[in-house]
């Protein structure tokens, strides 16, 4: 069997499947290595910390003696956390080479970004009497990396990389490196899919090796015994009903399905086993492929950081190290997060356990602070696996000069979600502001940009054309979300993107549009990397159901009008049950737009929501503005919001909605403001004659 490999940025090939050896006992190592090599493995992963390099070296010596060739193997080892300083890099690599009986390794990794003081009497971290590990606070990852580069030049290793580093730490290395990291080794399995980290590494040509790719069942006993881990810390991925069903479809084991899912997703895997049959089985994953639907089902198991097994807190006191890579996750647990009301919580909010967040299957949702600003950086987890900021800046109706000022202010205040559309004709302005922001150090992976397919060319063959135009105008290589702006379609003029109209001023309807066919093309944009997630806007429940029935990639998001007078409760409940995050536009009710678009509606029926006594009383009680109350009401019901403001000074106020909670009585008082369909402002009848389109979403007959 020819073992498949990936070409590293260093120019060397790394096999996609390797043998993990953590916890493998020295007395069984010879049998394990022999079984692996006989089964076709040529990639062996170890580390100085594993204390098994000598046993591996003995096994390799025997294999070489039987005719095996060094150039056919790929050996990885790692710099230990108690040798994580520039002066120790060469020393520990030489020790590893001596133990392995090799002249060079194929890949040498910095095992961890943090460092401990070495015990004087052994190769182990030093500990205080209270059991705390003694931190080496002088550790400098960049200085260590400079020494790693020297090992390549000296021929002791062909490639170098990192392990257990976060995005910020990797970026720091990239900014200061002559030789870029070829590989990152991190925990990766179906419950912990590391989407953002994977995207970052792909953009920077860093291959990823996933350890614990089947959920580390073998480590369960070790951690329960040594560190008193609870049994529920270890996921039973091998017994998961979704995994078992897919395994049955292909006549494969559940382990093979989990490994195939990772490899088909572009990862390298290093499963560990001491059982010869399982060792052989774990590499037999190249004779089948998972369907798109099966990949989607396995992708949906992701619980993000809540699925992490190895946070290294078994090194008592390690979280105090300045280079501890998971500080944001620990900070999250100590901070107050959004409280969702009963009902919405049953569908979307995470539940607390003693050791992690457990996410319900119906809607993979998690709250994570990924910026310094907790309010602006609070996110939902989309069904596509990506983080979606709960609060975003809407850009509709802002002229060029105002938009430049407002967007610049929004980015400065920590807003990282920007919503636009080809129809808004402002993507070039947004692109200009983003270009300036990137030039000042802003990172693409820190922002979430949504755009939309225009409703005046809503055809399958136009999807790729318009997303490329949007990307060009925005100056981006990909979008985070691409939405179909509306289910209906109208024609535009032949010589411009202005709407075509009939003599009576009505729009020229395009009755040949097919939302399902358009959706198929939307799915292609995900597969081709132009957008990470896709969704819908202004679709009704029936229209969404039609998409769900035919979709290989389900909609991650629905953007619709939602505010106190138009709360869309049945539609939102339907979406939440189907794993679709709802974004509410016009969340403050747009009283000016109501007067303009519906002059027949009286102020008696629709009083200015900002002047309502009930809203003002609640605001006064919490020491908040009316705007903050209206936004929080939606968020507490599980809705994301995008607001527009011409005043940059209002932006900070609009995102400071996560430090209080409305009572159930207050929520009910605000719920009671709902006027159902009559409360709708944006029925699109400003497009004269649009209600005659067969896909007009707001009529009773579709």
Q: How many CB atoms lie within 10 A of CB 205?
A: 11
Q: Give the ranges where 220-365 is alpha helix by DSSP (H).
A: 220-227, 241-250, 254-264, 276-283, 292-299, 327-334, 344-348
Distance from the first to the final alpha carbon of the chain: 56
CA 213, CA 271: separation in Å to the nearest integer?
6
Place of tokens 């990470």: 532
DSSP code per residue over 92-145: HHHHHHHHHT-S-EEEEEE--SS-BPBPTTSSSB-B-TTS-B-B-TT--HHHHH
Residues with catalytic annotation? 50
Whole-angstrom CA distances from 198 to 194, 336, 349, 477 are: 6, 28, 25, 16
CA 18, CA 109: separation in Å to the nearest integer?
15
CA 465, CA 389: separation in Å to the nearest integer?
27
Could you give the dihedral angle defined by the CA atoms of residues 67, 70, 72 and 73, in that order, rounded to the nearest 10 degrees? 120
CA 446, CA 671: separation in Å to the nearest integer?
34
Alpha-carbon radius of gyration of the chain: 28
Q: How many CB atoms lie within 10 A of CB 361?
A: 10
In contact, 499 and 455? CB cutoff 8 Å: no
Whole-angstrom CA distances from 537 to 450, 474, 693 are: 11, 20, 16
Phi, psi for residue 309 in degrees, rounded to 5: -95, -45
Phi, psi for residue 104 in degrees, rounded to 5: -155, 160
Q: Are strands 13-15 and 557-561 parallel, antiparallel or unpaired?
A: unpaired
| pLDDT for the residue 129 | 85
* Cross-strand partners of 566: 563
CA angle 494, 498, 499 (to 5 degrees): 90
CA 73, CA 369: separation in Å to the nearest integer?
42
In contact, 563 and 586? CB cutoff 8 Å: yes
CA angle 442, 367, 588 (to 5 degrees): 80
Domain boundaries, the chain: 9-328, 391-692
| pLDDT for the residue 372 | 30
Decide: residue 614, CB within 10 A, 0-12 exposed, 13-18 middle, 19+ buried. middle
Q: How many CB atoms lie within 10 A of CB 512?
A: 8
**Of 652, 604, 603, 601, nearest in space to 631 by CA:** 652
State which CATH number among 3.40.50.620, 3.40.50.300, 3.20.20.100, 3.40.50.2000 fits the domain covering 9-328. 3.20.20.100
Task: Name the token pair of 112.
Answer: 């961890």
DSSP code per residue over 549-564: HH-SS---EEEEE-BT
Sign of CA dihedral 541, 456, 586, 421: positive
- Domain 391-692 class, CATH top level: alpha beta
In contact, 44 and 17? CB cutoff 8 Å: no
Whole-angstrom CA distances from 289 to 189, 249, 281, 294, 672 are: 18, 11, 16, 10, 52
| pLDDT for the residue 335 | 45
In sequence order, what are the residues at sequence separation of 6 or more whose Cβ sits closer than 8 angstroms to the Cβ of residue 515?
458, 484, 487, 539, 543, 546, 547, 695
List, for the chain, all residue ranges whose pLDDT scores fall below the cut of 50: 335-337, 345-377, 700-702
CA 332, CA 324: separation in Å to the nearest integer?
15
What is the number of helices (H) and of strands (E) in the chain? 24, 22
In contact, 671 and 615? CB cutoff 8 Å: no
Give the three-state DSSP class for 613. helix
Whole-angstrom CA distances from 470 to 382, 393, 531, 535, 644 are: 22, 18, 11, 16, 20
Q: Which secondary structure element, helix H or strand E, spans residue 355, and what is its range?
A: none
Q: How many CB atoms lie within 10 A of CB 676?
A: 12
Q: Which secondary structure element, helix H or strand E, spans residue 590, and what is its range?
A: none
CA 421, CA 603: separation in Å to the nearest integer?
32
**Of 198, 218, 213, 302, nearest in space to 259 by CA:** 213
Tens digit of each residue's pLDDT (9 = 90 or more) over 391-435: 999 999 888 889 999 999 999 988 999 999 999 999 999 999 999
CA 17, CA 272: separation in Å to the nearest integer?
11
Decide: residue 39, CB within 10 A, 0-12 exposed, 13-18 middle, 19+ buried. middle
Q: How many CB atoms lie within 10 A of CB 72?
A: 10
Taking phi over 0 as left and psi of -120 to 50 as alpha, with beta for the rest, 212 belongs to left
| pLDDT for the residue 375 | 40
**Of 269, 304, 347, 307, nearest in space to 195 by CA:** 304
| pLDDT for the residue 332 | 52
| pLDDT for the residue 6 | 96
- In residues, how long is the chain? 702
Phi, psi for residue 232 in degrees, rounded to 5: -75, 0
Q: Give the ranges where 413-499 is alpha helix by DSSP (H).
A: 427-439, 460-474
Place of tokens 């049955």: 248
| pLDDT for the residue 387 | 87
- Is 9-328's fold the same as 391-692's? yes
Phi, psi for residue 250 in degrees, rounded to 5: -110, 0
In contact, 309 and 212? CB cutoff 8 Å: yes
């Amino acid at each position: 069997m020819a073992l498949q490999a990936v070409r590293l940025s260093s120019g060397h090939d790394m096999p996609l499947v390797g043998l993990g050896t953590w916890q493998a006992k020295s007395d069984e190592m010879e049998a394990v290595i022999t079984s692996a090599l006989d089964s076709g493995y040529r990639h062996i992963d170890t580390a100085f910390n594993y204390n098994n390099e000598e046993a591996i070296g003995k096994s390799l010596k025997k294999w070489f003696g039987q005719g095996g060739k060094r150039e056919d193997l790929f050996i990885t080892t790692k710099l230990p956390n108690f040798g994580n300083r520039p002066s120790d890099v060469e020393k520990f690599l030489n020790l590893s080479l001596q133990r392995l009986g090799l002249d060079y390794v194929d890949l040498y990794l910095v095992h961890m970004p943090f460092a401990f003081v070495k015990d004087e009497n052994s190769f182990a971290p030093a500990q205080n009497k209270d059991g705390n590990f003694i931190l080496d606070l002088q550790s400098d990852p960049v200085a260590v990396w400079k020494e790693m580069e020297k090992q390549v030049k000296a021929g002791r290793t062909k490639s170098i990389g990192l392990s257990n580093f976060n995005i910020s730490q990797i970026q720091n290395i990239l900014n200061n490196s002559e030789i870029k990291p070829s590989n990152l080794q991190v925990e990766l399995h179906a419950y912990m899919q590391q989407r953002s980290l994977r995207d970052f590494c792909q953009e920077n040509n860093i291959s990823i090796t996933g350890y614990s790719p089947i959920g580390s069942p073998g480590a369960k006993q070790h951690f329960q015994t040594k560190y008193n881990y609870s049994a529920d810390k270890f996921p039973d991925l091998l017994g998961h009903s979704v995994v078992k069903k897919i395994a049955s479809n292909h006549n494969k084991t559940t382990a093979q399905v989990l490994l195939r899912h990772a490899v088909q997703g572009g990862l390298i895997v290093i499963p560990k086993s001491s059982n010869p049959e399982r060792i052989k089985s774990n590499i037999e994953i190249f004779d089948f492929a998972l369907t798109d639907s099966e990949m989607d089902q396995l992708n949906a198991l992701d619980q993000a950081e809540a699925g992490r097994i190895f946070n290294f807190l078994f090194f008592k006191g390690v979280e105090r190290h300045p280079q501890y890579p998971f500080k944001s996750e620990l900070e999250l647990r100590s901070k107050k997060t959004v409280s969702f009301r009963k009902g919405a919580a049953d569908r979307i909010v995470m539940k607390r356990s003693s050791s992690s967040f457990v996410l319900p299957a119906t809607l993979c949702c998690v709250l994570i602070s990924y910026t310094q600003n907790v309010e602006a950086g609070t996110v939902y987890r989309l069904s596509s696996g990506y983080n979606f900021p709960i609060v975003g800046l809407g850009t509709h109706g802002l002229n060029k000069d105002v938009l430049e000022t407002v967007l610049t202010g929004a980015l400065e205040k920590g807003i990282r979600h920007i919503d636009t559309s080809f129809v808004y004709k402002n993507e070039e302005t947004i692109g200009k502001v983003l270009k300036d922001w990137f030039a000042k150090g802003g990172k693409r992976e820190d922002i979430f940009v949504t755009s939309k397919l225009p409703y005046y060319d809503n055809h399958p063959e136009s999807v790729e054309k318009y997303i490329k135009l949007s990307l060009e105008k925005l100056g981006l290589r990909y979008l985070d979300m691409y939405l179909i702006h509306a289910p209906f379609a109208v024609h535009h003029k032949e010589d411009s993107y202005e709407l075509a109209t009939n003599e009576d001023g009505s729009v020229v309807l395009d009755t040949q549009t097919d939302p399902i066919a358009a959706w198929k093309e939307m799915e292609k944009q995900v597969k081709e990397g132009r957008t990470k997630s896709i969704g819908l806007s202004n679709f009704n429940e029936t229209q969404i159901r039609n998409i769900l029935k035919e979709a290989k990639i389900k909609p991650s998001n629905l953007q619709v009008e939602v505010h106190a007078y138009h709360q869309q409760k049945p539609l939102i409940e339907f979406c939440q049950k189907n794993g679709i995050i709802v974004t509410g536009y016009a969340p403050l009710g747009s009283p000016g737009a109501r007067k303009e678009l519906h002059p027949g509606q009286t102020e008696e029926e629709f009083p200015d929501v900002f002047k309502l006594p009930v809203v003002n009383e609640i605001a006064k009680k919490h020491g908040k503005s009316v705007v903050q109350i209206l936004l929080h009401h939606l968020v507490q019901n599980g809705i994301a919001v995008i607001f527009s403001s011409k005043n940059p000074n209002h932006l900070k106020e609009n995102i400071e909605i996560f430090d209080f909670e409305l009572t159930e009585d207050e929520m009910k008082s605000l719920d009671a403001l709902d006027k159902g369909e009559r409360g709708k402002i944006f029925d699109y009848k400003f497009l004269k004659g649009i209600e005659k389109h067969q896909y007009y979403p707001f009529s009773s007959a579709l």
